[in-house]
Amino acid sequence: MPILGLGTWQLTKDTAGTVEAALRLGYRMIDTAEDYGTQPGIGEAIKRNATARDRIYVVTKVEETDDAYEATRRYLDELQLDYADLMLIHRPPPSGAGEELWRGLIRAKKDGLARDIGVSNYAIDLIEILIRATGETPTVNQIEWSPFGHSDKMLTYCQQRQIVIQAYSPLTRTKRLDDNTLGALAAKYGKTPAQMLIRWNLQRGTVPLPKANRREHLQENFQIFDFEISRDDMASINGLNEGYSSLGTLPYD
């Protein structure tokens, strides 16, 4: 799995053109969901671009009301792909942990429709229910995750279970890019606040999925492999945690 991906929520203006530009810049993971409306454009970009299919990691999600197996087939049709690299349960259903959804994804994986399967917006206890019910551990938990809202408890749990945390809204939907501490550290490294947030994820072993419509943002967000945040500065950034969520509440404690 690539260590950085492109988010595509609200990337509907010119999805195919933007995703193609991202592939040309070197992005190798694209995150989508049926309700983003970007699956057809992503499929188009993958077709048009010269990058081999097996070098691109496509993530999509089934909804809590879906029949997971049938929905996987439907979303693959929209993407014009034979398989997804990662199929997630978008969020847990209102009651229970989504064991039926999980069984549907296990079947999709067995049948080669998904290489990896995982969950999104799951708390630890719900992940444990899925594992106990089926013996299958999710490859990924995709959750809102930034220095302003993250959890050592979740990180330790996922490390122990070898579950990758994918960080959504890693740029806080721009809401906290003007934070003073972040700004001062960005100036110290000659980087932007957005680049600091992305790099912080890489150094924590979590996988950020920044979304960018604008070409200059796409480029900026990929220029994060040429510097390293020191241990002390990582501690300062970790310390910005206040359980912040740009969506409302974090789906974990």
170 belongs to the binding site for ligand NAP (CB under 6 A): yes
Task: Please identify, using beta-carbon distances, which residue of 28 and 211 lies nearer to ligand NAP.
Answer: 211
Q: Report which DSSP code applies to 211.
A: B
Let me know the angle formed at the C-alpha of 171 by 49 and 94, rounded to the nearest 5 degrees: 95
Residue among 194, 229, 237, 240 that touches ligand NAP (CB under 6 A): 194
CA gap 180, 182 in Å, rounded: 5
Which residues lie closer than 8 Å to 170 by C-beta, 6 or more apart?
145, 146, 197, 198, 201, 208, 209, 210
Residue among 12, 65, 156, 174 that touches ligand NAP (CB under 6 A): 174
| Token digits of residue 247 | 């969506």
For residues 33 and 60, the answer to whether their CB atoms sit within 8 Å is yes
8 belongs to the binding site for ligand NAP (CB under 6 A): yes
Q: Please give the C-alpha separations between residue 40 and each of 27, 47, 76, in angstroms, as whole numbers.
A: 18, 11, 10
Q: Please give the C-alpha separations between residue 18 and each of 7, 89, 168, 194, in angstroms, as whole numbers.
A: 11, 26, 19, 19
User: Going residue by residue from 15 to 34, which x/- string records binding to ligand NAP, judged by CB under 6 A?
Assistant: ----------------x---
Q: Exactly one of 27, 36, 75, 252 is catalytic; which is it? A: 36
Which position's Cβ is nearest ligand NAP? 7
Residue among 15, 39, 121, 151 that touches ligand NAP (CB under 6 A): 121
Instruction: Report the site for ligand NAP in 38-67 (rule: CB under 6 A).
Output: none
Residue among 2, 3, 9, 133 that touches ligand NAP (CB under 6 A): 9
For residues 107 and 69, the answer to whether their CB atoms sit within 8 Å is yes
For ligand NAP (CB under 6 A), the number of binding residues is: 27
Active site residue 36: yes
What are the catalytic residues? 36
Which chain residues interact with ligand NAP by CB under 6 A?
7-9, 31, 90, 120-121, 142, 168-174, 177, 192, 194, 209-214, 217, 220-221
